[in-house]
Amino acid sequence: MISGYTALYGLVAHPAHHSLSPMIHNLGFKQHQIDARYLVFDSQAQPQNIATAIRTLGVAGVNLSMPYKQSLVPLMDELMPAAQLVGAINTVALQSGKLVGTNTDGDGFWRALQKRYPNLASQQIVMLGAGGAGLAIIEAAARYGVATIQVFKRQNPTYVAVEQRLVTIANHHSMSIVLHDYADEQALQHALITADCVINATNLGMVNTPGLPMAAPLIRQIAPTCLVTDLIYAPRQTAFLQLAAQSGHSTQNGLGMLIEQAALSFQFWTGRVLQTDPIYHALMKEF
Judge if 226 and 267 occupy the same domain: no
Q: Within a domain: residue 40?
A: yes
- Tell me, what CATH number does 131's domain have? 3.40.50.720
Q: Cα dist. 197→119, 126, 205, 218 in Å? A: 13, 6, 18, 14
Number of domains forming the structure of the chain: 2
Gyration radius (Cα) of the chain, Å: 19
CA atoms within 13 A on the CB side of 51: 19
Based on the domain organization, do 65 and 192 belong to the same domain? no
The secondary structure of 152-207, three-state, reads: EECCCCCHHHHHHHHHHHHHHHCCEEEEEECCCHHHHHHHHHHCCEEEECCCCCEC
Nearest partner of 125 among 241, 50, 227, 18, judged by Cα = 227
Q: Which position among 30, 69, 153, 285 bears the catalytic label?
A: 69
CA distance 153 to 184: 10
2 domain-assigned: no
Provide DSSP, 91-126. EEEEETTEEEEE--HHHHHHHHHHHH-TT----EEE
Q: Are residues 126 and 246 in the same domain?
A: yes
CATH of the domain at 277: 3.40.50.10860
> What's the domain range around 67?
7-103+257-286
Decide if 285 is catalytic: no
pLDDT in tens, the chain (287 residues): 788 999 999 999 999 888 999 999 999 999 999 999 999 999 999 999 999 999 999 999 999 998 999 999 999 999 999 999 999 999 999 999 999 999 999 999 999 999 999 887 778 999 999 998 999 999 999 999 899 999 999 999 999 999 999 999 999 999 999 999 999 999 999 999 999 999 999 999 998 888 999 999 999 999 999 999 999 998 999 999 999 999 999 999 999 999 999 999 999 999 999 999 999 999 988 77
Q: Residue 163 carries which side chain, given as an amino acid letter?
A: E
* 5, 42, 167, 168, 241 from 173: Cα distances, Å: 43, 36, 10, 9, 30
Distance of CA 173 to the CA centre of its chain: 19
| Residue 265 within any structural domain of the chain | yes
